[in-house]
């Protein structure tokens, strides 16, 4: 009896497994067909067919792989991103919210997994002026990202800092700049990173810019100076552009403070990593004052100037090469150029004087 029952049980199980396998095969085939149709529609730039195929592959794929599977979440993001690209954000938002709800059921409302999905969505959203997108970011995604970062900080502070850093970069893409969370990201990364690295340098730069935005110039300068040391230590070619930008900001800051020594230090440092040219743009310039006579008489024009540079990159021996409207703009152009700063020319690593540079100062009325 037991043997017979055992035989029936195994037979029934075999039939069930076979039926399940057949069902899965059918589901897989249907999904593959829908996904192939989606790729065809995309290659043909067929917007309407792309919408239909994207939705079908998303629904069939999640049915086949499971609603809480990683593959389903990838298909969800893929479908929503297509809807977003096709300017159907209402549908995209429904799909995104559904995916986050499923993830919350699987892992919990404040889980890191939910926050990571919210960050992935933020990173994939197209950049534009759609107010619905902005509202979705502020009122829905940001809270999940905040909660995940707080939870992650309790478990792994460095990972939390890196998570915040990625989130801030994504927010910046959508116009949400100067978020104070950049300071938290930097604090966590700086405190828990064992060595200097590219991500830490970029994060520190963004934190310094936040301080500058808040008019906390001293703290901003301190972080920029620390970054210069880090970039010199790392000697990473990918950070060269950032070093140029950082030294430029420091030169401008020290120029305003009247700190000639520090200003010159960064001028020389910048000159060492930037090819010198007579045609180079100034690293610091002020706008020329519009002559009152020209203003009242709607006059516009350009002044071409020839000059030399001293060892500090300051214009000297300024001469007028040509000028529109006689003497009208000359004095204002010369006065402006005297305040400009250029990279000093280097020979054997030391700044030297340079002769025969030319530049133009233009005067144009607002249209």
pLDDT score of 15:
43
C-alpha angle 102/106/112, rounded to 5°?
Answer: 95
* Phi-psi group of 145: left, alpha or beta (phi > 0 → left; psi -120 to 50 → alpha; rest → beta): alpha
pLDDT score of 358:
94
pLDDT score of 272:
87
The Cα 73–Cα 58 span in angstroms is 9
pLDDT confidence band for 274 (50 / 70 / 90): confident
Mean pLDDT of 39-66: 87
Mean pLDDT of 253-282: 87
Which is more confident, 264 or 230?
A: 230
Q: What is the pLDDT of residues 1-16, one digit of tens each?
A: 333 333 333 344 344 4
pLDDT confidence band for 21 (50 / 70 / 90): low
Residue 145 CB-density burial (10 A; 0-12 exposed, 13-18 middle, 19+ buried): buried
Q: What is the pLDDT of residues 307-344, one digit of tens each?
A: 999 988 899 999 999 999 999 999 999 999 998 988 88
- Beta strands at 354-363 and 301-309: parallel, antiparallel or unpaired: antiparallel
- Placement of tokens 């950070």 in the chain: 239
Mean pLDDT of 193-206: 97
pLDDT confidence band for 278 (50 / 70 / 90): confident
Mean pLDDT of 8-37: 65
The Cα 163–Cα 188 span in angstroms is 10
pTM: 0.73
CA distances from residue 3 to 12, 14, 70, 153 in whole angstroms, order as listed: 14, 16, 42, 58
Which is more confident, 291 or 38?
A: 291
pLDDT at 213 over 90: yes
pLDDT confidence band for 69 (50 / 70 / 90): confident
pLDDT score of 310:
92
Q: Average pLDDT over the chain, rounded to whole?
A: 86
pLDDT score of 4:
38
pLDDT score of 14:
41
Mean pLDDT of 110-126: 87
Handedness of CA 64, 120, 105, 92 (dihedral sign): negative
Q: What is the pLDDT of residues 157-198, one digit of tens each?
A: 999 999 999 999 999 888 887 789 999 999 999 999 999 999
With a CB cutoff of 8 Å and minimum separation 6, the contacts of 199 are 162, 165, 189
């Amino acid at each position: 009896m037991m043997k017979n029952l055992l035989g029936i049980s195994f037979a029934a199980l075999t039939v069930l497994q076979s039926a399940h396998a057949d069902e899965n095969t059918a589901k897989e085939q249907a999904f593959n067909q829908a996904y192939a149709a989606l790729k065809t529609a995309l290659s043909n730039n067929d917007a309407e067919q792309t919408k239909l195929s994207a939705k079908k592959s998303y629904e069939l794929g999640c049915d086949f792989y499971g609603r809480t599977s990683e593959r389903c979440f990838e298909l969800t993001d893929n479908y929503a991103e297509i809807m977003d690209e096709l300017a159907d954000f209402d549908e995209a938002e429904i799909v995104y919210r559904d995916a986050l709800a499923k993830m919350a059921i699987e892992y919990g409302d404040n889980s890191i997994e939910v926050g990571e999905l919210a960050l992935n969505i933020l990173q994939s959203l197209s950049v534009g002026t759609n107010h619905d997108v902005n509202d979705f970011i502020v009122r829905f995604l940001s809270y999940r990202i905040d909660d995940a970062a707080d939870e992650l900080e309790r478990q792994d502070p460095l990972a939390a800092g890196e998570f915040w850093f990625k989130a801030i970069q994504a927010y910046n893409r959508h116009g949400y700049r100067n978020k104070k969370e950049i300071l938290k990201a930097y604090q966590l990364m700086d405190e828990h990173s064992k060595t200097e690295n590219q991500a830490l340098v970029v994060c520190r730069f963004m934190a310094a810019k936040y301080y500058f935005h808040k008019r906390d110039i001293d703290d901003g300068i301190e972080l920029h100076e620390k970054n210069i040391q880090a970039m010199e230590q790392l000697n990473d070619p990918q950070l060269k552009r950032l070093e140029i930008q950082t030294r430029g900001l420091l030169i401008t800051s020290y120029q305003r403070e009247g700190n000639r020594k520090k200003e010159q230090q960064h001028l020389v440092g910048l000159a060492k990593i930037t090819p010198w040219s007579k045609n180079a743009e100034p690293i610091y310039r002020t706008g020329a004052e519009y002559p009152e006579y020209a203003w009242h008489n709607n006059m516009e024009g350009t002044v071409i100037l020839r000059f030399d540079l001293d060892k500090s990159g300051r214009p000297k021996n300024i001469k007028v090469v040509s000028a529109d409207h006689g003497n009208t703009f000359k004095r204002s152009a010369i006065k402006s150029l005297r305040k400009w700063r250029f990279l000093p020319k280097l020979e054997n690593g030391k700044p030297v004087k340079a002769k025969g540079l030319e530049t133009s100062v233009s005067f144009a009325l607002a249209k």
